[in-house]
Amino acid sequence: MLPKLSLLLLASLSGCLTPAKLAEMAQRADTLSRGAKTDECADAAANAASAVVVALEDMTRATKMSDPVRSPRPALRVAEVACLECVRDKDCPDDKECVGGHCQKRRK
């Protein structure tokens, strides 16, 4: 029992995909999809959500630790970039500033 616990602990601390990490990625893809303001963002978010489903299916079929699981991380990164409204303040209207990739009213 102890070796299995060690492997689980190692997997959760490393860059390995775990069901919890995939759940976080699914939540992020859903958030991006709901907030999509462009078709490009919506399409990229849908692709990221599909990639999470594929990873979950891979994980479900895996019978040993060495079985490959396709990571949805690249698709999620593409979605995050596609959904950015701005990178710098000058990408926003004059009365707004770029905060976390989105244009928001300037704080006084």
One DSSP character per residue, 8-76 reads HHHHHHSS---HHHHHHHHHHHHHHHHT--SHHHHHHHHHHHHHHHHHHHHHHH--STTS----SHHHH
CB 32 within 8 A of CB 83: yes
Instruction: Return the number of other C-beta atoms located less than 10 Å from residue 48's C-beta.
Output: 27
Q: According to the model, what pLDDT value does residue 103 have?
A: 87
pTM greater than 0.75: no
Q: What is the pLDDT along the chain (108 residues), one digit of tens a residue?
A: 444 444 444 444 456 888 899 999 999 999 999 989 889 999 999 999 999 999 999 999 988 888 889 999 999 999 999 998 888 888 888 899 998 888 888 887
